Structure 1
Amino acid sequence: MISATTASAPAVNRTHRWAVSAWFFLQGLIFASWASRIPAIQQRMGFSDATLGLVLLALPLGQLPSLPLTGWLIHRFGSQRTAVAGVLLYSSSLVGLGWAQQPWQLLPCMVLFGFASNLMNISINTQAVGVEALYGKPIMASFHGMWSLAGFTGAAVGTAMIGWQVLPQLHFLLIAGLVLAGGLISYGALLPHSVSDDAGEQPAFVLPDRTLLGLGAIAFCALICEGAMFDWSGVYFQKVVRAEKAWVGAGYTAFMSTMALGRFGADWLTARLGPKRVIQCSGLLTATGLLVAVLFPTLGTALLGFMLVGFGTSSVVPLVYSAAGKSEVMPAGMALAAVSTIGFLGFLIGPPVIGLVAGATSLRFSFALIAVMGLCVAAVATRAKLR
């Protein structure tokens, strides 16, 4: 357990907070680096939109076996050690994605990438719940803000790499080296024990109750929208907006910049409006932004639409995770893992579905369907129990 001395020491608490923030940043940097080069990898492999959608199914296939395993690892070894395993696998699989030249090489790397993403995500969010408990006030959004800030940084670096004609394999190798160095420096300041370690002999994975299922449903719909932006924004700007090569990554950058900004202000806004109202407005804003980009697919209007989506999706997941951490029916770490599991299924399943629908209809129609998920966020939040 976290000692009373540690809990009462503001300097130590700040050290834990900065360390966990750093790991959120590292995790986001890895994923953003991959997302920024999807169009280049699609072109290298010669994939159509429909084929790319099928290939992206390898990510959720990798995530599925990690769900019960991650809960067990955190329960058995703690979130600190589990996070280390996650960052090692995540970095190495990113390098593999860059070096893959054939589909048979790309697919196993994507499976490992999906497995490692969930391993790192749940363990670091469990760390965040523990630090939030030390502070005694909502700070979860600021952690996710660091993830988004990393996404913005990774997108900007990716855009620069594309402009400089740096190959994905060298790009990913540099990012992996930076991530491993950052993880090594900050590892010692992570919480040695997470809140989930206080769960005694309870099982490592517990089915969520009705309240947690509602929170998971909100996260599921919101993360479908996020996943669409991460995996398909570059392709959308390339094929629908028909942006010049240097502007292909601009939509992703616009989305990530407003998402980061929104998350850093989410705690302040929630204190004044309440979590339910913030999530409702967020869902409506997400749907509006997607429809603007679909109905008016020019460079300026699409950028505006993607910025609105960034603001809309910014606070939903942090607020849902914070509510899950206050569960009264199971330990915070387990509740968080359950809600995170449901949510990230949407994050990983959404992009492949977009590709399949785009192959049958069009990419614009796929994005219009994703706008419906934004409306679902607002609708489910109306009935959910949020504290």
Structure 2
Amino acid sequence: MDTDLSPSQIVRWRTAIFAIFLASGLSIATWASRVPAIKQSLGVDNIQIGLLLLGMGVASILGLSVAPIVLARLGAKRGMLGGLLLVAVGVTVIGVGTDLVHSYPVVLIGLALFGFGNGSVDVMMNVEGAAIEKQTGKTILPLFHAFFSFGTVIGAGLGVAAVAMDLAVVAHASIIAVLIVVIAVVSVANVPAREITGDEQATSAPRGWRERLHTAMSAWREPRTYALGVVMLGMAFAEGGANDWLPLALVDGHDADQALGAAGLAVFSIAMTVFRVFGGPLVDRFGRVMVLRVLALTAAAGLLLFILAPTLPLVFVGAALWGAGASLGFPLGMSAAADDPAHAATRVSAAATIGYVAFLCGPPILGFISEHIGLLETLFIVVGLIVASGLFSGAARPLVPAARERVES
């Protein structure tokens, strides 16, 4: 059984998971900020960079897929520690491959380790965040995801500083790797062992890991998992599509210059981060379903305005509405999946896997379609997925005891 936690233990637990979300964002921005330097050092073209991204994406999906097994075998504490250490090793290998051995395969290996570690940690840190929500009775997963965004901003800023100081990729990567290791060790030490996150208490009778794995996979047999998956899929496409295609859509579709393209993405990201910081109290006041429906309407209207607006100021308004509307779908899907504390880890793992696979696979799919019909026209597909997300948002309604029994049966 889980033991009661003191207020100070809960604060340390929450702070630790904030730090882990931040470290994940930091690592991703570190890699992204040095892509030009890596390309130049290796002497590769854009196609080869694309293959590196593909390798990282495949490894990330594998990490997402095995996360339930890691949870069943090791629990969230040891799983997160191992995943973050793997991220640190991967970042270091990327730097070594870039500057010391100038080897494309070594960089690819580093990205595979990096992607696999981040993919598995993504699931487990959401499991922990959902467990904290259940412990405190407050909606705070959006704030955890805001800390991921803070990590990307910090990582991008450090990347700019590293480039300005002409710091080699291997030195930059090694510094970030050490920082990630420190965050991992200190944070995990402050995460309590909880049975609902797969961490058996010392006083509990240990269960066989095969039994725990069977429990972990049970969520995939529940219709509610897939309904929540639709909610998260639409918003994952909305977020991932913006991150990869919004600047280019501004430049190619609205004849903006590259600086305005970057500014459009900044507007989207700021709107999303602000709503993730302040969205929790709105959910606690108005409920998940109402907030999800309103935000789906906001995201769809914003994206339509972005596509169809005749002037750039209106396009930027559309980008802001798009970002605000897409902000809470993913974290609120996590919250809904964790409604039953006894099965929180398994259901959050399944829901997170659906969302992250959509986030990783969505942008390349959009890019392929855009080659045939145009980028702005392709974004109408995302509008349709956002509408579907809103229509399925009733699946996020908090479970009452009778509903929990039906889900479990």
**Under a length normalisation based on structure 1, what TM-score does the superposition of the two structures give?**
0.84
* Higher deviation after alignment, 331-340 or 249-258: 249-258
Structure 2 equivalent of residue 18 of structure 1: 15
Confirm or deny that 1:3 pairs with 2:3: yes
Q: 2:140 corresponds to which letter in structure 1?
A: I
Q: Which runs of 5+ in 1 are unaligned?
A: none
> In the aligned structure 1, how far is the partner of 2:337 from the partner of 2:157?
33
> In the aligned structure 2, how far is the partner of 1:294 from the partner of 1:34?
30
1:226-375 map, 5 Å: 226-233=239-246, 235-236=248-249, 249-296=262-309, 300-327=313-340, 331-375=343-387
Once the two structures are superposed, what CA deviation does each residue of 1:28-67 show, in whole Å capped at 9, x if it has no partner?
222234445567767974326xx87666443442234334
> In the aligned structure 2, how far is the partner of 1:169 from the partner of 1:299?
40
Q: 2:287 corresponds to which letter in structure 1?
A: G
Structure 1 equivalent of residue 395 of structure 2: 384
1:367 to 1:52, Cα distance in 2 relative to 1, 3 A: farther
1:278 to 1:160, Cα distance in 2 relative to 1, 3 A: farther
TM-aligned CA deviation for residue 136 of structure 1: 3.0
Once the two structures are superposed, what CA deviation does each residue of 1:214-252 show, in whole Å capped at 9, x if it has no partner?
011211221122222333445556655676666664334
> In the aligned structure 1, how far is the partner of 2:275 from the partner of 2:301?
16
TM-aligned CA deviation for residue 21 of structure 1: 1.0
* Equivalent residues of 1:70, 1:119 under 8 A apart: yes
* Equivalent residues of 1:155, 1:249 under 8 A apart: no
Q: 1:27 aligns with which of 20, 24, 44?
A: 24
Once the two structures are superposed, what CA deviation does each residue of 1:1-27 show, in whole Å capped at 9, x if it has no partner?
4312x2xx1111111111111111111
1:105 to 1:243, Cα distance in 2 relative to 1, 3 A: farther
> Counterpart of 2:194 in 1: which secondary structure?
coil
> In the aligned structure 2, how far is the partner of 1:134 from the partner of 1:244?
48
* Equivalent residues of 1:234, 1:249 under 8 A apart: yes
1:104-253 map, 5 Å: 104=105, 106-158=107-159, 171-197=172-198, 200=207, 201-202=211-212, 203=214, 204-206=216-218, 207-233=220-246, 235-236=248-249, 249-253=262-266
1:273 to 1:165, Cα distance in 2 relative to 1, 3 A: farther
Q: 1:343 corresponds to which letter in structure 2?
A: G
* Equivalent residues of 2:307, 2:376 under 8 A apart: yes
> Counterpart of 2:323 in 1: which secondary structure?
helix
Higher relative CO (Cα under 8 Å, sequence separation at least 6) belongs to 1
> In the aligned structure 2, how far is the partner of 1:179 from the partner of 1:75?
24
Q: Percent identity between the aligned chains?
A: 27
Structure 2 equivalent of residue 46 of structure 1: 45
Q: 2:325 corresponds to which letter in structure 1?
A: G
> In the aligned structure 2, how far is the partner of 1:189 from the partner of 1:31?
24
1:302 to 1:33, Cα distance in 2 relative to 1, 3 A: farther
TM-aligned CA deviation for residue 355 of structure 1: 2.4
Q: 1:192 corresponds to which letter in structure 2?
A: A
TM-aligned CA deviation for residue 190 of structure 1: 1.6
Aligned residues: 380
1:242 to 1:111, Cα distance in 2 relative to 1, 3 A: farther
> In the aligned structure 1, how far is the partner of 2:165 from the partner of 2:384?
38
Q: 2:46 corresponds to which letter in structure 1?
A: F
* Equivalent residues of 1:20, 1:124 under 8 A apart: yes
1:137 to 1:115, Cα distance in 2 relative to 1, 3 A: same
TM-aligned CA deviation for residue 318 of structure 1: 1.5
> In the aligned structure 2, how far is the partner of 1:373 from the partner of 1:268?
26
* Higher deviation after alignment, 105-114 or 12-21: 105-114
> In the aligned structure 2, how far is the partner of 1:348 from the partner of 1:354?
11
> Counterpart of 1:121 in 2: which secondary structure?
helix
1:316 to 1:24, Cα distance in 2 relative to 1, 3 A: same
TM-aligned CA deviation for residue 317 of structure 1: 1.3
1:305 to 1:93, Cα distance in 2 relative to 1, 3 A: farther
* Equivalent residues of 1:95, 1:172 under 8 A apart: yes
> Counterpart of 1:192 in 2: which secondary structure?
coil
Q: 2:76 aligns with which of 74, 79, 83?
A: 79
- Aligned-residue Cα RMSD (Å) equals 3.3
Q: 2:89 aligns with which of 88, 92, 95?
A: 92
> In the aligned structure 1, how far is the partner of 2:38 from the partner of 2:369?
20
TM-aligned CA deviation for residue 95 of structure 1: 4.5
> Counterpart of 2:397 in 1: which secondary structure?
coil
* Structure of larger gyration radius: 2
> In the aligned structure 1, how far is the partner of 2:312 from the partner of 2:136?
43
1:356 to 1:378, Cα distance in 2 relative to 1, 3 A: same
Q: Which runs of 5+ in 2 are unaligned?
A: 201-206, 399-409
> In the aligned structure 1, how far is the partner of 2:38 from the partner of 2:261?
14
1:289 to 1:157, Cα distance in 2 relative to 1, 3 A: farther
* Higher deviation after alignment, 93-102 or 142-151: 93-102
* Higher deviation after alignment, 192-201 or 86-95: 192-201
